[in-house]
Each structure stands twice: as structure tokens, then as C-alpha cells.
Amino acid sequence: MADEHREHCKPKKGRKVRTVNAYLNCPGGMFSFAKQNGYTDKNPFEGLDPLKKSKAKPDPLTMDEYHHFLMLAYLNR
């Protein structure tokens, strides 16, 4: 179990939402354990909401694609 937890908390390359949440989850769990067992009075991670992945913006047409689209629309009228 300890090896699985250590592997789960191992730092990874990148800073994706999932990565940041994993980084915050590990010390949050340790502070939660410490507070529950009387090692500390406060858990600085308590009440910290996990990050949410933002939605990707739509990929607009390039100018060439736009002109090609207009040309096709004109020819097929």
C-alpha cells in the first residue's frame, strides 16, 4: 500500500490540472492525518477545492480555409 501511495504521489513532468491536484492531494492527506491524530491543530489544505480543467476554445478557421469555404459556397449556389 505504501509503495502504491508513493508511486501515486511521485512528481511528474508538466503542470496539468490533474498533476497539480495530485501534488496538493498528498500533503493534504498528510496534514489531515496529522490533525486527526493530534500532531497539529490546523490543516492548511482543508477546504481547498481541486482545480477544474478549463474547456478548450474552439479552433477557428484559418484565412485560407475561410476563403476556400466562401469560394465553395459561391460556386455551389
- This prediction has a pTM of 0.50
Q: Which amino acid is at 71?
A: M
Q: Which amino acid is at 59?
A: D
C-alpha 68/C-alpha 21 separation (Å) is 44
Domain boundaries, the chain: 14-52
At 5 the pLDDT is: 62
- Residues 34-73 have pLDDT tens digits of 999 999 999 999 998 998 888 777 778 888 998 898 898 8
Angle between helices 17-36 and 2-9 (to 10 degrees): 140
Burial 20-59 (b: 16+ CB within 10 A, else e): ebbeeebebeebeeeeeeeeeeebebeeeeeeeeeeeeee
Alpha helices per DSSP H over the chain:
2-9, 17-36, 63-75
